[in-house]
Structure 1
Amino acid sequence: MGDAGHQVVIAGGGPTGLMLAGELALGGVDVVIVERRTGQELVGQRAGGLHARTLEVLDQRGIVDRFLAEGQKGQFAGFAWLRLDISDLPTRYPYVLALPQARIERILAEWAAELKVPTLRGREVTGFTQDESGVDVALSDGTTLRSEYLVGCDGGRSVVRKSAGIDFPGWDATMSHILAEAELAEEPPWGLWRDEKGIRSFAKMEDGKRVRLMVTEREPGSRGEPSLGDLREALVAAWGTDYGVRDATSISRFTDMARQAAQYRSGRVLLAGVAAHVH
């Protein structure tokens, strides 16, 4: 079955897809988001803050106060291993606003909903064909959307990018880190460290039971999702103990892999966000 059509279909309802949808809606464009998650909930750790230029753009859209009300300001940033003081930047927002991605997405989703942007949940873009007048976008439920343009905001493993045949050159990972939210049987040292063992941190979570932690692995991990065993091994290598880590509600891995799409557009198909670059 086919859809009557939209001007733009956005694959992915994360921060990039939501922000783009809001921008297009403000311009009077008929846009729809296709998002694989059935809700806006986000499990585990992702991005953790907003920088000055992003806050300036959100201010231009009249929604920056929504983010400021929920975040924490920090007048520092990092470059490589250096800590930079950004308190004198020539901006109204000379700081990093610490705010979990889950909250960032929720605020953007509420804004997009206010602008009447529809979101098709529980579905994914699985492929497309395009011609001179538009794009037929195939969805995982067997339906097809017709649009003038398709924008892939569907992450580092972007189906849109791969289907468009766009190369993704770059560098493989030389180090990897594990992020987790879990309970610990032993109390760890609280804080953040960067040294010859990599990055290590422990922070208490809002519920007072779980801990948000990060640790560099001794050897770069595989591309698959890390296990509780991987986390324990990394903790022992870094600290000499795993602190009795247990009951992890989320475990993920990120690396220093860097890749950038060879082009951001192929005909009527475009890429944005992590679909276009990872670093």
Structure 2
Amino acid sequence: MNELHADVVVAGAGPTGLMLAAELRPAGVDAVVVERLSERTGLSKALNLQPRRAEVLDLRGLLPRAEERAFATVQEGHFAAVPISYAGWDTRHPYQLGIPQAQVEELLEERFAELGGKVLRGHELVGLSQDAAGVRVVTPELVLSCRYLVGCDGGRSTVRKLLDVPFEGENGTGYGVVADVVVDHVPDRAAGTWTSMRGMVQSDGATGFCGLIPLAEPLLYRLTFGDRARRPATFGSPVTEAEVHAAFAANYGPASIKEIRRLSRFSDASRLAARYRVGRVLLAGDAAHIHFPAGGQGLNLGVQDAANLGWKLAAALNGFDDVLDTYEPNGAPSGPPCSRTSRPRTASSRKAAPAAPCARSSPPSPSCPRCPTTCPAWSPGSPSAIPHPRTPIPSPARASPTSASPAAPGPAPSSTPATTSCSPRRGQICRACPRFRAHCPQRTSQRCRSPPAALVRPDGHFAWLPVT
């Protein structure tokens, strides 16, 4: 049996694993990706990158590649099928980018390869063990020794199961079906191009729903349908083409389906790993949290998890072990707010939709008229004040990961530094950013005094740091 050595082994070559691997390589980390499948399927669960994920890719110089592969720019998101405009959001990317998940995976793997990385396909992880020095990963053909292992292997994560980490949550009561279909002509109730969320999802009875989103190819659509309150007796069985034809005919006839290219079911189950870290093994993406998939939550949160974890792993491998201790406090809340909002999102959709609700627990969406304007890319938690060397912040957006504003007179910030998100342009110090001023913990009325210090993190977030 062959044996390989690496700094980090990433289990899973989905968007989370590939993003994490591409984050680690510029920091001088020897990262290896191990994937169970022998080749990419080409199928896409998600179809979009939300504004914050566009910012993350922009920070790494990857957004132009995503834009080249995109088939739509969508000016709105939605909550419980209620469109929510991105207008007024404090971001350079106030839109969703319509791009199939398969294309996101392709560009991330392309980037990883450019950095000298390689995906080892056709290797299913079957065992692991760890001690204070590292982790031993076993597949039927390989043994890999590494300092850290990250499970990015999906909702049925083998890594999580081998760690015996509980996956706590709710099974849910609803279900949905997704199918990519080619139709004979554009249905009367459907759009020819995807520029808005309005009319994309419609009610079908008291609790049913149906949706039709145009894709890149003419007359190719993503059809979704299901029931938010009841699951059929056939829920555990494969989707049949007869189900798809019947649902389409009931909602979009007299147009008809000429070809069905993809079929799958999904549920509104919401679960969260009890721990994101066990010793030298960590979880990210769907391996750590699952939820109702509307809005491409799995893809988008997975990319965010990877951006958060990547620089922390790099710091830990360079001697700053305490930085990695912040992954669970910082990372774990990125799952629960989505899990909390996914439940009311599905519940709200069972009734007549109210005025646009808050999509965020704290702080809420700036598009909600009842909520104060705030940064749409807000991320909970508090960062570490420890420097993090050799962490990548490539062009076009660049900020020093150890830059801090000079100390200034005035009261000290709270003991738990506030954290928000920023996409600083080249040459900007964090304090010059309007978001910095808007979120300053010393802000009084409409005026803001300089905080004692600020740290720009490699993932584009910045934080107030107490000066001792």
TM-score above 0.5, yes or no: yes
1:32 touches 1:120 (CA, 8 Å); kept in 2?
Answer: yes
What residue in structure 2 maps to residue 231 of structure 1?
Answer: 244
2:273 counterpart letter in structure 1: A
Larger CA Rg, structure 1 vs 2: 2
For residue 212 of structure 1, report the CA deviation from its aligned partner.
Answer: 2.9
Unaligned runs of 5+ in 1: none
For residue 110 of structure 1, report the CA deviation from its aligned partner.
Answer: 0.6
Q: Distance in 1 between matches of 2:215 and 2:85?
A: 26
What residue in structure 1 maps to residue 202 of structure 2?
Answer: 194
Unaligned runs of 5+ in 2: 192-199, 292-468
What residue in structure 2 maps to residue 213 of structure 1?
Answer: 223
- Which deviates more from structure 2 when the two are superposed, residues 10-19 or residues 181-190? 181-190
- Which deviates more from structure 2 when the two are superposed, residues 141-150 or residues 189-198? 189-198
For residue 173 of structure 1, report the CA deviation from its aligned partner.
Answer: 2.4
Instruction: Report the CA distance shift for 1:183/1:94 in structure 2 as closer, same or farther (over 3 A).
Output: closer
Instruction: Report the CA distance shift for 1:135/1:223 in structure 2 as closer, same or farther (over 3 A).
Output: farther
1:248 to 250, 255, 260: 260
1:33 touches 1:120 (CA, 8 Å); kept in 2?
Answer: yes
What residue in structure 1 maps to residue 423 of structure 2?
Answer: none
What residue in structure 1 maps to residue 148 of structure 2?
Answer: 149
2:168 counterpart letter in structure 1: P
For residue 80 of structure 1, report the CA deviation from its aligned partner.
Answer: 1.9
Deviations 1:7-32 (A, max 9, x none): 11101001000000011111111110
Instruction: Report the CA distance shift for 1:4/1:181 in structure 2 as closer, same or farther (over 3 A).
Output: closer
Local SS of the residue matching 2:266: strand
- Which deviates more from structure 2 when the two are superposed, residues 242-251 or residues 170-179? 242-251
For residue 6 of structure 1, report the CA deviation from its aligned partner.
Answer: 0.7
Q: Distance in 1 between matches of 2:248 and 2:65?
A: 37
What residue in structure 2 maps to residue 73 of structure 1?
Answer: 73
Q: Distance in 1 between matches of 2:112 and 2:55?
A: 18
For residue 207 of structure 1, report the CA deviation from its aligned partner.
Answer: 4.7
What residue in structure 2 maps to residue 106 of structure 1?
Answer: 106
Please give the TM-score of this superposition, normalised by the length of structure 2: 0.55
Instruction: Report the CA distance shift for 1:205/1:82 in structure 2 as closer, same or farther (over 3 A).
Output: closer
Q: Distance in 2 between matches of 1:102 and 1:242?
A: 31
2:81 touches 2:201 (CA, 8 Å); kept in 1?
Answer: no
Calculate percent identity across the aligned residue pairs.
37
2:168 touches 2:271 (CA, 8 Å); kept in 1?
Answer: yes
Instruction: Report the CA distance shift for 1:10/1:242 in structure 2 as closer, same or farther (over 3 A).
Output: farther
Please give the TM-score of this superposition, normalised by the length of structure 1: 0.89
1:264 to 268, 276, 293: 276
Q: Distance in 1 between matches of 2:77 and 2:281?
A: 35
Deviations 1:151-189 (A, max 9, x none): 110000000001110000111122111111234578744
Deviations 1:115-170 (A, max 9, x none): 1111101222122111221111111x332111111111000000000111000011
Q: Distance in 2 between matches of 1:89 and 1:185?
A: 39
Q: Distance in 2 between matches of 1:18 and 1:4?
A: 19
- Which deviates more from structure 2 when the two are superposed, residues 46-55 or residues 181-190? 181-190
For residue 39 of structure 1, report the CA deviation from its aligned partner.
Answer: 2.7
1:188 touches 1:202 (CA, 8 Å); kept in 2?
Answer: no
1:11 touches 1:151 (CA, 8 Å); kept in 2?
Answer: yes
Local SS of the residue matching 2:3: coil
1:77 counterpart letter in structure 2: G
2:93 counterpart letter in structure 1: Y
- Which deviates more from structure 2 when the two are superposed, residues 1-10 or residues 104-113? 1-10
- Which deviates more from structure 2 when the two are superposed, residues 92-101 or residues 180-189? 180-189
- Which deviates more from structure 2 when the two are superposed, residues 175-184 or residues 86-95? 175-184
Instruction: Report the CA distance shift for 1:188/1:127 in structure 2 as closer, same or farther (over 3 A).
Output: farther
The count of residues paired between Structure 1 and Structure 2 equals 276
2:222 counterpart letter in structure 1: R
Structure showing greater relative contact order (alpha-carbon pairs closer than 8 Å, 6 or more residues apart)? 1
Bigger strand share: 1
For residue 49 of structure 1, report the CA deviation from its aligned partner.
Answer: 0.8
Q: Distance in 1 between matches of 2:213 and 2:73?
A: 17
